[in-house]
Amino acid sequence: MTGDITLLGYGVSAIGPAIAIGLIFAAYINGVARQPEAQGKLQPIAILGFALAEALAIFGLVLFFIAFFVG
């Protein structure tokens, strides 16, 4: 029973980083489309935002494994 709840919890928590990654790259593409010369400044910021959002998803996955196997 606990495994089902933790699996559902991880599924719900993975939606947040997925939406964040989509918004980050949508803003990046929009910014580059408006000002192509700003690509050099926007790209590192977009990659950093992607890395931080992905880190949240990986952190959620680790917590899922801890709750599933230990708890």
Identify whether the C-beta of residue 15 lies closer than 8 Å to the C-beta of residue 51. Answer: no
Distance separating alpha carbons of residues 64 and 9, to the nearest angstrom = 8
Say what the pTM is.
0.79
pLDDT tens for the chain, residues 1 to 71: 566 777 787 888 888 899 999 999 999 999 999 999 999 999 999 999 999 999 988 988 888 888 878 86
Residue 38: the pLDDT is 95
The helix/strand/coil state of 14 is coil
pLDDT attached to residue 19: 93
The residues spanned by each domain of the chain are: 1-70
Q: Which CATH architecture has domain 1-70?
A: Up-down Bundle (1.20)
Give the pLDDT score at 39: 96
Measure the CA–CA gap between 13 and 65, rounded to whole angstroms.
Answer: 14
